[in-house]
Amino acid sequence: MCWKVAQSPQVTQLFAAPGNPGMAELAECIPWDGNVSQLAEWADREGIELTLVGPEAPLVEGIADAFEARGLKIFGPVQKAAMIEGSKAFAKDLMARFGIPTARHKTFSDVLDALSYLETTGAPIVVKDSGLAAGKGVTVATSLHQAKQAAANILSGPERAEIVIEEYLSGPEVTVLAVTDGITIVPLLPSQDHKRLLEGDTGPMTGGMGAICPYPLPPGVLTEIVERILKPLVEGLRAEGIVYRGVIYAGLMLTDEGPKVLEFNARFGDPECQAILPLLKTDLLELALAAVEGRLHEQRLEWHPLASACVVMAAPGYPDDPHKGLPLSLPPAPPERVLYFQAGTRRGPEGLLTHGGRVLSVVGLGEDLPGALERAYAGVAAVRFEHALYRRDIGRKVSLAKAASRGGETDQPKA
Ligand code: AMP
Ligand code: GLY
């Protein structure tokens, strides 16, 4: 987001809070511990004209409310609207009320109730932590034992917890992001994340290990997603007095019965954002301002006619216990059609060091998906980062399905 906003001719000064060494090349980084009212006070003092929010935690803390209370412009939903991400139980209730297609579910806060319910469902079944879990709170259980363990783990902790148990769905997954001002909905290009740590979609859930854009949705499906999912959400919230301004993230499963919602987030996805924004020609600052000022109907998006692929390089030990402080170095100039976006990094005396789970996103651009993947992996090869974890099969399912379709076997992506 910082990289894209920095390209806007309207920017006079750009700050990132707290930022990282990658953002420090584009913006002035200011220290920030996550306190939303402190940041609002700072922005007020500095006369910041527009703030864009990246992650979910400050949204769920009410950063948009704190800024709006001071008359400051902020691109991101208010706390009540951000609850579509902050509480899966809340999101599932909304979907039921607004008739949005999603997996059947039940919510539990009592462990014994949850365990006896699981006896009736059997496996496969999906157990989700209702609260924020950095994309790691979901267990797709293939056995009853695994489901019970996941439920017990979340519900027997010291804090008050809640889980959602939901029906197992199957099909290809796709992410559709949309910008909205609470009335107009502007969908971005569809993308696809890779949630599992290991190749072949195995291993533990992560925040996301790579993404491709655009994901080739079958004809008519994007319109169906807007009409049956995004519109009912935005209009339903508005009818309840909640105006959603910002980005809506719909994580979807393309089931035999049509697209169904796996989750909503209140922000750009990570790593979907890194794959989508390099394809966007339109000025992101202009788009965000139009959303904040309620004039999104004036906006038409323009896209570069390219494909992109993002490969995430994570620290060894991710997602449970990532190693911090490992050296990493990027080539002085990125290879052609490669972009590096830093995530969990910090600058040490000798150079860059790992400082979190997902360390770096490497994005490749190409005329088509195979070309984009070739550039992304050339970008990965040019990074020095020993023992980095990354998947070598990002985008492979879609590339193979497309290759097969050119042979005339299918005209739909298979996954
Ligand atoms: P979520 O954070 O809710 O999107 O879940 C993380 C991942 O778990 C998704 O990207 C899916 O791969 C998987 N998942 C979530 N819900 C279901 C479901 N009902 N059926 C099958 N897989 C699911
Ligand atoms: N890539 C999934 C997420 O941002 O939640």
CA 214/CA 283 separation, integer angstroms: 19
Q: Give this prediction's pTM.
A: 0.94
Q: SS3 breakdown of the chain: % helix, strand, coil, rounded to 5?
A: 35, 25, 40
Q: Which two tokens stand for residue 136?
A: 């790691």
Q: Would the pLDDT of 114 be above 90?
A: yes
- Kindly give the distance from the C-alpha atom of residue 147 to the centroid of ligand 1, in angstroms, as a whole number: 14
Q: State whether the Cα torsion 283-287-292-295 is positive or negative.
A: positive
- What CATH number is given to the structural domain containing 34? 3.40.50.20
Q: CB-based burial of residue 297 (10 Å sphere; 0-12 exposed, 13-18 middle, 19+ buried)?
A: exposed
pLDDT at 230: 98
pLDDT at 403: 80
- Kindly give the distance from the C-alpha atom of residue 44 to the centroid of ligand 2, in angstroms, as a whole number: 30
Query: pLDDT band at 135, cuts 50/70/90?
Result: low
Q: Would the pLDDT of 402 be above 90?
A: no
Residue nearest to atom 5 of ligand 1 (CA): 138
Q: Which residues line the pocket of ligand 1, CB cutoff 6 A?
A: 103, 126, 128, 135, 138, 140, 166-169, 173, 195, 205, 251, 262-263
Q: What are phi and psi of 394, to 5 degrees?
A: -60, 135
Note the pLDDT tens digit of each residue in 214-251. Answer: 999 999 999 999 999 999 999 999 999 999 999 999 99
Residue nearest to atom 2 of ligand 1 (CA): 135
Mean residue pLDDT across the chain: 94
- Kindly give the distance from the C-alpha atom of residue 206 to the centroid of ligand 2, in angstroms, as a whole number: 9
Q: Residue 243 domain-assigned?
A: no
142 strand-pairing partners: none
pLDDT at 12: 96
Q: State whether the Cα torsion 324-311-388-390 is positive or negative.
A: positive
Identify whether residues 72 and 113 lie together within a single domain.
no
C-alpha distances in Å from residue 7, one per residue of 167, 247, 296: 44, 20, 20
Residue nearest to atom 2 of ligand 2 (CA): 269
Residue in the structure block whose two tokens are 């027997």: 156
Q: Which of 60, 76, 92 is the last residue before a domain boundary? A: 76
Q: Residue 354 domain-assigned?
A: yes
- Pick the ligand that lies closest to the CA of residue 207: 2
Would you call the peptide bond into 31 cis, given omega within 30 degrees of 0 as the criterion?
Answer: no
CA 81/CA 137 separation, integer angstroms: 21
Identify whether residues 72 and 114 lie together within a single domain.
no
The string of DSSP codes covering 275-315 is: HHGGGB-S-HHHHHHHHHTT-GGG----B-S-EEEEEEEE-
Residue nearest to atom 1 of ligand 1 (CA): 263
Q: Which of 153, 158, 134 is nearest to 320 (CA)?
A: 134
- Kindly give the distance from the C-alpha atom of residue 361 to the centroid of ligand 1, in angstroms, as a whole number: 22
Q: Check: CB of residue 189 under 8 Å from CB of residue 284.
A: no
Q: What are phi and psi of 363, to 5 degrees?
A: -110, 130
Note the pLDDT tens digit of each residue in 54-86. Answer: 999 999 999 999 999 999 999 999 999 999 999
Q: Check: CB of residue 352 under 8 Å from CB of residue 388.
A: no
CA 23/CA 16 separation, integer angstroms: 7
CA dihedral 338, 342, 344, 346 (to 10 degrees): 130
Tell which atom from ligand 1 comes closest to the C-alpha of 195.
10
- The two beta strands, 51-52 and 74-75, are parallel
Note the pLDDT tens digit of each residue in 85-108. Answer: 999 899 999 999 999 999 999 999
Identify whether residues 45 and 126 lie together within a single domain.
no
C-alpha distances in Å from residue 216, one per residue of 158, 185, 190, 201, 248: 44, 20, 8, 19, 20
- What CATH number is given to the structural domain containing 390? 3.90.600.10
pLDDT at 405: 76
CA 42/CA 36 separation, integer angstroms: 10
DSSP state of 163: E
Q: Which two tokens stand for residue 143?
A: 């056995």
Task: Reduce the DSSP state of residue 86 to 3 states and report it.
Answer: helix
Q: Which of 150, 167, 184 is the last residue before a domain boundary? A: 167
Q: Which of 351, 333, 352 is nearest to 343 (CA)?
A: 352
Q: Residue 41 domain-assigned?
A: yes
Q: Residue 60 domain-assigned?
A: yes
Tell which atom from ligand 1 comes closest to the C-alpha of 166.
19
CA 157/CA 259 separation, integer angstroms: 34
CA 75/CA 67 separation, integer angstroms: 10
Residue nearest to atom 4 of ligand 2 (CA): 269
- Kindly give the distance from the C-alpha atom of residue 208 to the centroid of ligand 1, in angstroms, as a whole number: 12
Q: What are phi and psi of 242, to 5 degrees?
A: -115, 115
Most informative mutation of 84, 128, 188, 249 for ligand 2 (most atoms within 8 A of CB)? 249
Q: Which residues line the pocket of ligand 2, CB cutoff 6 A?
A: 135, 193, 207-208, 265, 269-270, 272
pLDDT at 404: 81
pLDDT at 282: 98
Identify whether residues 52 and 142 lie together within a single domain.
no
Most informative mutation of 128, 140, 196 for ligand 1 (most atoms within 8 A of CB)? 140
Q: Would the pLDDT of 409 be above 70?
A: no
- Kindly give the distance from the C-alpha atom of residue 60 to the centroid of ligand 1, in angstroms, as a whole number: 21
CA 90/CA 57 separation, integer angstroms: 16
Q: Which of 24-38, 153-167, 225-239 has the lowest mean pLDDT?
A: 153-167
Identify whether residues 310 and 364 lie together within a single domain.
yes
Q: Which of 119, 89, 123 is nearest to 107 (CA)?
A: 89
Q: Which of 146, 167, 188 is the last residue before a domain boundary? A: 167
Identify whether residues 312 and 401 lie together within a single domain.
yes
Q: Residue 181 domain-assigned?
A: no
- What CATH number is given to the structural domain containing 163? 3.30.1490.20
Q: Residue 137 domain-assigned?
A: yes
Q: Residue 160 domain-assigned?
A: yes
Q: Would the pLDDT of 410 be above 50?
A: no
- Kindly give the distance from the C-alpha atom of residue 252 to the centroid of ligand 1, in angstroms, as a whole number: 9
Identify whether residues 60 and 128 lie together within a single domain.
no
Residue nearest to atom 3 of ligand 2 (CA): 269
Q: Which two tokens stand for residue 85?
A: 């991400």
Question: What is the total count of domains within the chain?
Answer: 3
Q: Which domain holds residue 140?
A: 104-167
Note the pLDDT tens digit of each residue in 341-387. Answer: 999 999 999 999 999 999 999 999 999 999 999 999 999 999 999 99
Residue percentage of the chain with pLDDT more than 90: 91
Query: pLDDT band at 11, cuts 50/70/90?
Result: very high
- Pick the ligand that lies closest to the CA of residue 211: 2
Q: Residue 118 domain-assigned?
A: yes
